[in-house]
Amino acid sequence: MICGNSYGRFSWKKGSKPQKEYKVLSQKLGQNLLKRSLANEALSLHRLIFLIIYN
């Protein structure tokens, strides 16, 4: 376990470019997930209001 972790750290330190690309990718992924969750929340809120008004 420790050996794998140290190797992973070493490989990240060796090249700075892949790490930057990884950061950008993770940021994009995070933004997409956030947008999706917000859209889902808005959708559920609309459904809730719809149910309250029409029941």
Instruction: Show Cβ contacts of residue 19 under 8 Å, excluding neighbours closer than 6 positions.
Output: 12
Calculate the average pLDDT of the chain.
75
Q: What is the pLDDT of residue 1?
A: 42
Contact 12, 19 (CB under 8 A): yes
Per-residue b or e along 3-22, where b marks 16 or more CB atoms closer than 10 Å to that residue's CB: eeeeeeeeeeeeeeeeeeee
Q: What is the pLDDT of residue 37?
A: 87
Q: pLDDT of 26-44, one tens digit each?
A: 888 888 888 888 888 888 8
Q: What is the pLDDT of residue 23?
A: 84
Domain boundaries, given as residue ranges, for the chain: 19-55
Q: Is the pLDDT of residue 2 over 50?
A: no
